């Protein structure tokens, strides 16, 4: 890392300071960065929101949040005291120009005090409806003028569809340079997701196999046991396609399918990823019917607890047509991937919480063993488990010990837990550090976001125009609707799952 983080005086202004994202992710991430020595010597965190709070009240709130949500457990008193001196609160009305003048004054005061010109990071941890007004007011107050020093971080969802994401990009690019805009997709900050690039491009053994000649199909499966929890109002207007496929799953697909970048610079990596999105086959309404499946959960029992169906969740329309499950078969039309299906699925209230990428290789060209030896024959697979298990497995055939020739599939495993003793940082620690360092590699560029929207718009249109007649169509604690099994079974495959704690 060429930039010395210690010398980068930084001010974070967190819109949505009293909100859930700050409580669960941002504050614990900043605290852990502090503990691990990754914060600048001079830093300040200014939380802002409508609730009137004093600095001390805000500090107490964040301490409670950190004690509850930080990966490093409860804060140590001495460490907390040093850290919390840098936390402030400003009650604000985001529509009022005075709010922004006040931020300006605070930044000036810190700069005078620290005798330097600080980096200022505006973090928009608020509902997307507020992105335009905040961005415009930052600009009107002339707080965005220095592209070297000022950055803006935008949480997903980035737009609601292609049109709105274009509008938002247009608005932001009228105020900020692209190099100032950090669009978050928190999956990109996950240790195991970053490792996909390391695995592919720091090893020579995979590349010769990494194409249509050897790979039969790819599966990307992000399943969750949780329902929509308290987020019914947001989720009911979004659904699984917008919430997960448009961003996290397509980003995973890009990492699997991208060409090797010539170097690790942000734009080079993002160019190679956007190439994949551009090469993805667009859907006709007919393709949507054949290659995309939607589902919505019914009530059921999860881990001994009765859980409501989606339509009975708080703040959800009781006749909602929103999908809580989506499975799609995509193709990447280029030389490397022609004809290789990429099956993506995601859903809530499913049997297991697990994010897994499975690369299934083609079968051997000729079977030399007697059929009885190969009864449990299994094609080679590479399984990248992102969470909760953090591992990479290669499934190969082996001879079972014994006097007769019997083959069965065994796993060669690289497991983070068994290999490293250091705890992996949370995704938000990586992303906040990169924002401070000005490294955009793990952030979404405007064109990537638009390409991903363009790809899924035909599916969204078809689903909106044709309401599902069979919702809810899967029960809680299942693997989703039967049609999702059929989608992949038609091609002769099945969804792969890893046993977690011994349970499938
Ligand atoms: C968020 C989605 O982006 O990702 C949520 O809005 C989803 O609906 C979450 O639950 C999943 O993230 P993770 O890190 O828990 O896999």
Would you state the pLDDT for residue 497? 93
Cα gap 259→249, rounded to integer Å:
18
DSSP-derived secondary structure for 54-67: -HHHHHHHHHHHHH
At 236, is the pLDDT very low, low, confident or very high (cuts 50, 70, 90)? very high
Report the nearest atom of ligand 1 relative to the CA of 156: 3
CB of 227 within 8 A of CB of 348? Answer: yes
Q: What is the Å distance from ligand 1's center to 349 Cα?
A: 13
Task: Output the pLDDT for position 110.
Answer: 96
pLDDT at 65: 97
Percent of the chain with pLDDT over 70: 99
Exposure string over 23-55, b if 16+ CB within 10 A, otherwise e: bebbbbbbbbbbbeebbbebbbbbbbbeeebee
Nearest ligand 1 atom to alpha carbon 224:
10
| Ligand 1 lined by 243 (C-beta under 6 Å) | yes
Residue 142 falls in which region: left (phi positive, over 0), alpha (psi -120 to 50) or beta: left
Question: Could you give the maximum distance between any two Cα atoms of the chain, in Å?
Answer: 83
**What pLDDT band is residue 499 in, cutting at 50, 70 and 90?**
confident
Instruction: Evaluate if residue 5 carries a pLDDT over 90.
Output: no
Backbone phi, then psi, for 43, in 5-degree steps?
Answer: -145, 160
Question: Which residue, judged by its Cα, is nearest atom 8 of ligand 1?
Answer: 243
> Distance, CA 240 to ligand 1 centroid (Å)?
10
pTM: 0.96
Q: Provide the strand spans (E) within 211-279.
A: 215-223
Collect all residues with Cβ–Cβ distance below 8 Å to 138 and sequence separation of at least 6.
100, 122, 144, 152, 175
Give the model's confidence band at 422: pLDDT under 50 very low, under 70 low, under 90 confident, else very high. Answer: confident
Q: What is the enclosing helix (H) or strand (E) of 137?
A: helix 131-140
Q: What is the pLDDT averaged over residues 88-99?
A: 95
Instruction: Specify the residue with its C-alpha closest to ligand 1, atom 9.
Output: 244
CATH of the domain spanning 188-424+459-476: 3.30.360.10
pLDDT, tens digit, 9 for 90 and up, residues 107-138: 999 999 999 999 999 999 998 889 999 999 99
The domain limits of the chain are: 5-155, 188-424+459-476
Query: What is the 99 CA–ligand 1 centroid distance (Å)?
Result: 31
**Percent of the chain beyond pLDDT 90?**
92
Tell me the best of 125, 157, 243 to mutate to test the pocket of ligand 1, counting ligand atoms within 8 Å of each CB and taking the most. Answer: 243
CATH superfamily of 5-155: NAD(P)-binding Rossmann-like Domain (3.40.50.720)
Contact criterion met (CB below 8 Å) for 119 and 8: yes
Ligand 1 atom 2: the closest Cα is on which residue? 243
Q: How high is the pLDDT of residue 16?
A: 96
**Rounded average pLDDT over 280-298:** 96
Query: In angstroms, what is the span from residue 154 Cα to ligand 1's centroid?
Result: 16
**Atom 5 in ligand 1: residue holding the nearest Cα:** 243
Other C-beta atoms within 10 Å of 428: how many? Answer: 21
- Reply yes or no on whether the pLDDT at 286 is more than 70: yes
Q: 21 CA to middle of ligand 1, Å?
A: 12
Q: What is the pLDDT of residues 237-251, one digit of tens each?
A: 999 999 999 999 999
Measured from the CA of 228, which atom of ligand 1 is nearest?
A: 8
Over residues 34-73, the pLDDT tens digits come to 999 999 999 999 999 999 999 999 999 999 999 999 999 9
Q: What's the mean pLDDT in 400-427?
A: 92
DSSP classification of residue 344: E
**How far away, in angstroms, is 278 Cα from ligand 1 center?**
25
Catalytic residue list: 248
Tell which one of 69, 154, 224, 353 to mutate to probe ligand 1, the residue whose CB is within 8 A of the most ligand atoms: 224
* Cα-based torsion angle of the residue sequence 279, 283, 288, 289 in order, rounded to the nearest 10 degrees: -110
Torsion of CA 307, 311, 317, 321, to 10 degrees: 140
Task: Judge residue 322's burial from the number of C-beta atoms within 10 Å of its C-beta, 0-12 exposed, 13-18 middle, 19 or more buried.
Answer: buried
Which pLDDT does position 7 carry in this prediction? 85
Q: Quick one: tokens of 344?
A: 């993506």
Atom of ligand 1 lying closest to residue 355 CA: 16
**pLDDT recorded at residue 421:** 85
Residue at token pair 């029960």? 475
Q: What is the pLDDT of residue 502?
A: 67
The response to whether residue 434 sits with its C-beta less than 6 Å from ligand 1 reads: no
Please indicate whether the domains covering 5-155 and 188-424+459-476 agree at the CATH topology level. Answer: no
Nearest partner of 61 among 30, 120, 32, 20, judged by Cα: 20
Instruction: Compute the distance from residue 224 Cα to the ligand 1 centre, in Å.
Output: 9
* Residue 224 Cβ < 6 Å to ligand 1: yes
Name the closest-CA residue to atom 12, ligand 1. Answer: 187
Q: If you average pLDDT over every residue of the chain, what do you get? A: 95
Which pLDDT score is estimated for 312? 97
What region, left, alpha or beta, does residue 332 occupy, with left being phi > 0 and alpha being psi -120 to 50 degrees?
beta
Residue 427 CA: nearest ligand 1 atom is 14
pLDDT of residue 75: 95
| Complete DSSP assignment for 417-440 | HHH--SPPPPHHHHHHHHHHHT--
Q: Which of 69, 227, 244 to mutate to test the pocket of ligand 1 (most atoms within 8 A of CB)?
A: 244
Dig out the tokens for 338 from the structure.
């022609």
Left if phi > 0, otherwise alpha if psi is -120 to 50, otherwise beta: which for 41?
alpha
Chain segment 148-187, per-residue pLDDT in tens:
999 999 998 899 999 999 999 999 999 999 999 999 999 9
In 10-136, where do the E strands start and end? 10-15, 43-49, 87-91, 119-124
Q: How far apart are the first and last CA of the chain?
A: 41
Which of 455 and 499 is assigned the larger pLDDT? 455
Between the CA of 354 and the centroid of ligand 1 the distance, in Å, is 12
Nearest CA to ligand 1 atom 15: 224
Write down the pLDDT at residue 376. Answer: 85
Q: Is 185 near ligand 1, meaning CB less than 6 Å away?
A: no
> Is the pLDDT score of 1 beyond 60?
no
**pLDDT tens per residue across span 306-360:** 999 999 999 999 999 999 999 999 999 999 999 999 999 999 999 999 999 999 9
């Amino acid at each position: 890392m060429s930039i010395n983080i210690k010398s980068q005086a930084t001010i974070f202004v967190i819109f949505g300071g009293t909100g859930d994202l700050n409580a669960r992710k941002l504050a614990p991430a900043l605290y852990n960065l502090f503990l691990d020595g990754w914060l600048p010597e001079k830093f300040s965190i200014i939380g802002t929101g409508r609730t009137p709070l004093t600095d001390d009240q805000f500090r107490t709130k964040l301490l409670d949040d950190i004690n509850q949500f930080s990966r490093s457990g409860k804060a140590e008193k001495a460490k907390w005291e040093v850290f919390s001196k840098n936390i402030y609160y400003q009650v604000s009305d985001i529509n009022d120009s005075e709010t922004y003048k006040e931020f300006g004054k605070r930044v000036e005061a810190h700069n005078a005090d620290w005798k330097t010109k600080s980096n200022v990071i505006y973090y928009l941890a608020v509902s997307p409806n507020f992105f335009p007004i905040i961005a415009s007011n930052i600009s009107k107050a002339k707080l965005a003028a220095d592209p070297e020093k000022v950055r803006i971080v935008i949480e997903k969802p980035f737009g609601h569809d292609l049109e709105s994401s274009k509008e938002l990009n247009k608005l932001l690019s009228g105020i900020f340079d692209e190099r100032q805009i950090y669009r978050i997709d928190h999956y990109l900050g996950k240790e195991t997701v970053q490792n996909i690039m390391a695995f592919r491009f720091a090893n020579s053994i995979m590349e010769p196999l990494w194409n249509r000649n050897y790979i039969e199909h790819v599966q990307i499966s992000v399943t969750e046991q949780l329902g929509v929890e308290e987020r019914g109002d947001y989720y009911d207007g979004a659904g699984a396609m917008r919430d997960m496929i448009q961003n996290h799953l397509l980003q995973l697909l890009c990492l699997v399918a991208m060409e090797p970048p010539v170097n690790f610079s942000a734009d080079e990596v993002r160019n190679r990823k956007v190439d994949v999105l551009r090469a993805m086959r667009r859907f006709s309404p007919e393709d949507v019917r054949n290659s995309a499946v939607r589902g919505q959960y019914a009530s059921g029992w999860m881990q001994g607890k009765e859980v409501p169906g989606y339509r009975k969740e708080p703040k959800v329309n009781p006749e909602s047509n929103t999908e809580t499950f989506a499975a799609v078969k995509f193709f990447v039309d280029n030389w490397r991937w022609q004809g290789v299906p990429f099956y993506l699925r995601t859903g809530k209230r499913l049997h297991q919480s697990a994010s897994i990428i499975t690369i299934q290789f083609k079968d051997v060209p000729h079977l030399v063993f007697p059929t009885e030896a190969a009864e449990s024959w299994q094609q080679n697979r590479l399984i990248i488990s992102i969470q909760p298990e953090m591992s990479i497995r290669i499934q190969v055939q082996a001879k079972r010990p014994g006097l007769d020739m019997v083959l069965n599939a065994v796993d060669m495993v690289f497991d983070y837990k068994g290999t490293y003793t250091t705890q992996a940082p949370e995704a938000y620690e990586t992303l906040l550090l990169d924002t401070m360092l000005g490294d955009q590699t793990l952030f979404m560029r405007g064109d990537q976001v638009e390409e991903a929207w363009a790809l899924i718009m035909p599916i969204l249109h078809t689903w909106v125009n044709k309401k599902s007649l069979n919702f809810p169509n899967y029960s809680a604690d299942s693997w989703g609707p039967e049609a999702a099994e059929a989608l992949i079974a038609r091609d002769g495959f099945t969804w792969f799952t890893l046993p977690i704690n011994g349970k499938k």
